[in-house]
Chain A
Amino acid sequence: MALRTQFQNSSDIGVFAKLTNTYCLVPIAECEAFYSVFEGELGDVIKVIHTTVGGCRIVGRLCVGNKNGLLLPNSATDKELQHLRNSLPDNVKIARVEERLSALGNVIACNDYVALVHPDLDRETEEVLADTLGVEVFRQTLAGQVLVGSYCALTNQGGILHPSTPIEDQDELSSLLQIPLVAGTVNRGSQAVGAGMVVNDWIAFTGQDTTSTEISLIESIFKLSDKGPNNINQMRSVLVESMTS
């Protein structure tokens, strides 16, 4: 299901929070309403961690991760690194990368299997990415935009792209990523879908301005409708396939 929320009156949830299948990062803020929303939905299932990255609250845009690992920019302090290491589950690998394009959340979009990156990303970062997160890396632009992390939101079930992405690109990406893709908007027509929402395989959080049309699109493409954290059935068929093949 998809929920509407706000971070201190801003509808851009994806800027401030990072959500994966095994953990969730929220910023340290004076007002804990944002945190309480996540805690209420996710507290039983996965860990919700308070943190900052390099002292900034825009954790969603600075770091990138999936169920296997988390990448942090070089602005992340040792203390934060330590805190994350303590808080995150042990199977999650944490790495800090030296990268010119330090807002990793803007330049990299990933799910548990594949990642799309900015065409100018360093080769080393790409290798670290492939290592830590265990993903296949593709360099792509989306509708002429290089900040792939901001303009698309991906999960293992599906993805939403920038609304101006042409049909051919959508088809090409869909076959590349092996998931259904659709071009859409979030937060009442905003084109930065990656920055406007956070989503994992069973839940999505969007901004308060999102219209019901957009919510229904999100629920249908990410297959979130009326199913709680029990889509293990679908995942099971994928797991069986990958194990037998």
Chain B
Amino acid sequence: MEYIEPNPSGAVTQKILCCECGTLISPNPANMCIACIRTRADVSENIPKQAMLHFCRFCERYLQPPNTWMPCALESRELLALCLKKLKGLNKVRLIDASFIWTEPHSKRLKVNITIQGEAFGTILQQSFVVEYIIHYQMCDVCCKQKGSDGECWRALVQIRQRTIHKKTLFYIEQLILRHNMHKSAMNIRETEGGLNFYYQAKNNARKMVDFLLSVIPCQYKTSEELVSHDIQSNIFNYKYTYFVEIAPICKDEVVCLTTGNSRYLNHMSQVVICSRISDNVHLIDPLTLKIGQLNAQQFFREPFQAICHQKQLREFMVMNIEPIRESGKQFGSYSHKHTLADVWVLPVNSLGTDEDEIHTRTHLGNVLACGDYVLGFDVSHAVVNNSVFDKIKQLPDIILVKKIYPDKVKRNKGRNFKLRRIGARTESMTTDNADYNDFLEDLEEDPELRKNVNMYKTQVQVEEDVEAPRVGLEELLEDLVLDDKEEAEEEAMTDGC
């Protein structure tokens, strides 16, 4: 440690005795020798001699508080600047020099030799000292997102579940999310049996997702918190928040059994009805009278009801004869204009050619059915239904026809002229998913209302002309930008190269 003379003069000044130890020194404002000054005053006392640096070992970047991560090589200028910024008391003294001292690369220690000038006892003192930095491993946000989202870094979780066999509604939700780009803020998305999990870094993003779901699908949610850590001194509690969103367990084209309360609310609709669509409300239609009704989420969950027949339990029938009904007695309530009431005689497909009688029933599909069409229906008389409300209903129709089906299902699946994007980079993997997914695509083809909320992209598949099935017009399809641009870019690159 040296000391700086405030007024260096040419003449030799006399020596005086240091007032502490008596050695001969030149006079200085403290009138003490350097050793005595050093024992009394430490210029570097306010500067910490140990500090901590955070380092992400996956991407090899150092944390610059508050939020940026910087890649720095060992013993580089940027690292030195980062180290100096960490020292709090350095702005009160003048920094003369700073340099690294070599340490073992795996020792997780950095040593910096710092020279500062500061004031003590009226004189300016220059002092060198070594500051040791301990490197602490911490995961940066990017690596966190990529590597571990389950159980490690997420702060909020949205679990979307629907307790039903068919996945149509979940696919529809997926397409809605894609259309509105709600999946961008999620750290990670996992598919589980019965639903989806969205992992978020911040609670407000999860809240936004929950609000979005509440507005597009009939659902209800529950929140729960798990305490991760708490700081007693400053009363800070860190939680992991979970939103459990339960979607109404009714899918499109399911036969449901309403409770009496619901039926009364919906202008005394009959209790056995078909769900015609799930949008933000549950749309119901009575196949025998064409009455329609809607229930929103609150109304549904106040008195929830169940489906008594899923799509997989429907049986195929063939239409023998059909006669539309005119002038049906209309009472109060709203009636569907898109359907026509008709009397129809059908035979189950597996009993075609036998001597069984045709079964008569009424249906709302009068405008789509013709003789010889195949139709899916629910055989009420032969069905075993486990529903207490259903057991109390006195009058039931024999068959409820739900949906027309088209032949050549395989060809139809191959010859689609559109495709959809999926969340995540996965393709249709699970086999049980496949059938459901195809059903969902068929629904899209058949129902233009459903298509309004879904982005559909053109595909290069050749359309089979001889398949009779509803088709999506080309004007409704979007250009799938990502792949096309890539191909165009590649072509351009090739032509430029030549």
Contacts and interface: CB of A to CB of B under 8 A. Distances in A.
B474 interface: no
Contact of B16 (A168, A184, A216): A184
B13 to A, nearest CB: 6
B194 to A, nearest CB: 83
Contacts of B20: 188, 211, 213
A164 interface: yes
Given A189-B31, A213-B21, A213-B22, A166 B16 contact: no
Interface string B11-45: 11110111111100001001110000000000000
Given A185-B31, A189-B30, A165 B19 contact: no
A78 B27 CA distance: 44
B22 A166 contact: no
Interface residues of B, number: 16
Nearest to B20: A211
A164 B27 contact: yes
Interface string A10-45: 000000000000000000000000000000000000
B13 A167 contact: yes
A184 B17 contact: yes
Contact of A213 (B12, B17, B121): B17
A184 B22 CA distance: 11
A213 B14 contact: no
A136 interface: no
A211 B18 CA distance: 10
A183 interface: yes
Contact of B14 (A170, A188, A189, A211): A170
Nearest to B31: A189
A189 B13 CA distance: 17
A163 B31 contact: yes
Contacts of B11: 166, 168
Nearest to A170: B14
Given A163-B27, A163-B31, A191-B31, A214 B14 contact: no
B9 to A, nearest CB: 9
A121 interface: no
A92 interface: no
Contact of B13 (A164, A191, A211): A164
A186 to B, nearest CB: 8
Nearest to B32: A189
Interface string B34-65: 00000000000000000000000000000000
Contacts of B17: 184, 213-214, 217
Which of A165, A168, A189, A217 is the most central at the interface, judged by chain B CB atoms within 10 Å of its CB?
A189
A210 B330 CA distance: 116
Nearest to B25: A163
A213 B17 CA distance: 7
Nearest to A182: B16
A213 B18 contact: yes
Contacts of A191: 31
A189 B20 CA distance: 8
Contacts of A167: 12-14
A164 B16 CA distance: 9
B27 A183 contact: yes
Nearest to A143: B27
Nearest to B13: A166
A188 B31 CA distance: 8
Given A164-B13, A165-B14, A166-B14, A211 B27 contact: no
Contacts of A185: 16, 19, 31
Interface in A136-180: 163-168, 170
A185 B18 CA distance: 9
A211 B19 contact: yes
Contacts of A166: 11, 13-14
B84 to A, nearest CB: 34
Contacts of A164: 13, 27
Contacts of B31: 163, 185, 189-191
B250 to A, nearest CB: 91
Contacts of A168: 11
Nearest to A169: B14
A170 B13 CA distance: 11
A170 B20 CA distance: 23
Most A Cβ at <10 Å: residue of B12, B16, B20: B16
Residue among A163, A190, A191 with the most chain B CB within 10 A? A163
A164 B14 CA distance: 8
A166 B12 CA distance: 8
Interface in A46-94: none
Nearest to B12: A167
B19 A214 contact: yes
B19 A213 contact: yes
Contacts of A170: 14
B273 to A, nearest CB: 99
Given A188-B20, A189-B32, 17 more contacts: A163-B31, A164-B13, A166-B11, A167-B12, A183-B27, A184-B17, A185-B16, A185-B19, A188-B19, A189-B30, A189-B31, A211-B19, A213-B17, A213-B19, A213-B22, A214-B17, A216-B22
30 contacts: A163-B27, A164-B13, A164-B27, A166-B11, A166-B13, A166-B14, A167-B12, A167-B13, A183-B14, A183-B16, A183-B27, A184-B16, A184-B17, A185-B19, A185-B31, A188-B19, A189-B30, A189-B32, A189-B121, A190-B31, A191-B31, A211-B19, A211-B20, A213-B17, A213-B18, A213-B20, A213-B21, A213-B22, A214-B17, A214-B19
